[in-house]
Amino acid sequence: MFRCTSGRALTDSPLSFNHKRLRLCLIIWMLLAPAFLIAQDDETDWRDDRYWFTIQANFIRQQQPSFYAKYSGPNSFDANAEHATSRVETLYTGFRVTQNLEFLFDLESAGGSGLSNALGIAGFPNLDVVRNPSLSENPYVARVMLHYTLPLSKEMVESARSPLGLAGHVPARRLEFRLGKLSTVDFFDLNSVGSDSHLQFMNWAVDNNGAYDYAADTRGYTYGLVIEYYDKWGAIRYGEMLMPTVANGLVLDWDIARAGGQNLEFEFHPQLLKHRQTVVRALSYLNRANMGSYNEAILQDQDGQVATPDITLSRRQGRVKYGFGLNAEQELTDNLRVFGRLGWNNGATESFAYTEIDSTEEFGGDLRGKWWKRPRDKIGAAFVANEISPAHREYLALGGLGFLLGDGGLTYSPEKIFETYYTAHVWRGLSIAGDYQHIADPGYNAVRGPADVASIRLHFEDGITSFKKQ
């Protein structure tokens, strides 16, 4: 008979740890725990916010003129003029089983393509593109998870409802548990100024910390457990995620004793400016997977074992990549905000799940259109500089290929990107945006580029998010 005993779950040695038992324990605990909750003083009826059913569609058309390139390789950003269109459609659904337990389920379809098949630029200009063009465009399950809130105080505060959290009021001090299929960056490295490719910036080194090689399959999703503690001063969150079996792969490794991604983030809300919101997030992560080593791949080339270095030939199970990130946002006026990110990883093992960036610095901001009588419009601008480690540079210079980069050689220079956008609200959930990106030294190559990318984005969202009594 199955028994969910805390002593067994917490004291077993790592080699005998029963992870299936732990997952089942968490599910049973989330289902039964409402019977033991602190009573909550909430004048609202939680059943008013019981359902969520919305759709979103995002279409991005990008084009670029030809640019100078001294040489090109298999994974280069194409120097010839080209254009590409991507699309992402998502159905978001949610149901509050009890006041504190939610079931969330999202279906998604992604299609079209990115410029140069999303190759050749570490900070690629379209976060929506699928990095493997051979994948089917048929709908797939993007998210399916249980979300449980454990109240630690009677005081309730307002909460913005979303597809990831249905409650309009939550305990001021609480624990939140999430278990299932999700995206790591649904919860880590968030930034209200620069995280949403559907309404804000499009570049994936602007919307996310480029040095954060977070656990994900090629579509950007994984399975995992996220635990968050919220208090008035901020939050602490921890996540354990599955890693892909190969770099940029679709298959995940379910053996968490040998592979996985661990994530820890501290979030603080200091009062730097009176009556203005400040948020600072400090992130660390550690990935274990069947990853290659840049130095070993270079040694294989120098020893004459291969004609050019190949990172895939140096892969070994259990290798580690770790990194850190700092993320901040500051409200300056009712309409003006600024934000920034810093990121670094050890750069010794291959870039595996997100993009080929080992360190990054970013700064930007946005402005609402109230000044020109368009209060729902927004304009934004950001600058980001990306770098790679010395071993990573040498590997690419010798002709090695990563899963995104590979010009057949390298004249190294940091990759520098400027992006600006204007999003105009049209009607209800319909908006249209224009975007421009200037990319200097694409793929860290000083003898290629600069590349200029112009974009038009059409975004629509609508649906049913509550059934409030009249």
Domain edges within the chain? 19-39+47-464
Q: Give the ranges where 99-183 is alpha helix by DSSP (H).
A: none
* Mean pLDDT, rounded, for 436-463: 97
pLDDT level of residue 49 (50, 70, 90 thresholds): confident
pLDDT for the residue 135: 79
Look at residue 344 and tell me whether its pLDDT is greater than 70.
yes
Per-residue pLDDT, 464: 79
Read off the tokens for 438.
């200037």
Cα(296)–Cα(325) distance, rounded to whole angstroms? 27
Report how far residue 378's alpha carbon sits from residue 366's, in angstroms, rounded to the nearest whole number: 7
34 pLDDT higher than 60: no
CA nearest neighbour of 148 among 104, 113, 187:
104
Q: What pLDDT, on the 0 to 100 scale, is given for residue 13? A: 39
Structure tokens at 301: 């080339």
User: Which ranges of 143-187 does DSSP label H, i.e. alpha helix?
Assistant: none
Whether the upstream peptide bond of residue 139 has omega within 30° of 0, thus cis, is no
Q: Among candidates 357, 56, 325, 18, which has minimal Cα distance to 184? A: 325
CB atoms within 10 A of CB 6: 9
pLDDT tens-digit series, residues 146-180 = 999 999 999 999 999 999 999 999 999 999 999 99
According to DSSP, the β-strands at 415-427 and 374-387 are antiparallel
Amino acid at position 323, single letter = G
Residue 430 has pLDDT above 90, yes or no: yes
Residue 470's contacts (CB-CB under 8 Å, 6 or more residues apart) are none
Separation of alpha carbons 218 and 78, rounded Å: 22
**Between 24 and 201, whose confidence is greater?**
201
Class of domain 19-39+47-464: mainly beta
Residue 454 CA: distances (Å) to CA of 63, 84, 411: 6, 11, 26
Q: What does the pLDDT read at residue 48? A: 77
pLDDT in the model for residue 21: 55
pLDDT exceeds cutoff 70 at 67: yes
Average pLDDT, rounded, for the chain:
91
Dihedral through CA 212, CA 216, CA 221, CA 226, nearest 10?
-70
What's residue 35's pLDDT? 43
pTM (2 decimals)?
A: 0.88
CB atoms within 10 A of CB 179: 19
pLDDT tier at 468, thresholds 50, 70, 90: low
Helix (H, G, I), strand (E, B) or coil at 295: helix
Q: What is the pLDDT of residues 395-414, one digit of tens each?
A: 999 999 999 999 999 999 99
Question: Among residues of the chain, what percentage have pLDDT more than 90?
Answer: 86
What is the arithmetic mean of pLDDT over 182-205?
96
Question: What pLDDT digit, counting tens, does each position of 223-238 carry?
Answer: 999 999 999 999 999 9
**pLDDT at 11 > cutoff 70:** no
Tell how many helices (H) and how many strands (E) occur in the chain: 5, 18
Report the first-to-last Cα separation within the chain, whole angstroms: 49
SS3 23: helix
Question: 3-class secondary structure for 412-423?
Answer: ECCEEEEEEEEE
| pLDDT tier, 311 (very low <50, low <70, confident <90, very high otherwise) | very high
User: In the chain, pLDDT over 70 holds for what percent of residues?
Assistant: 89
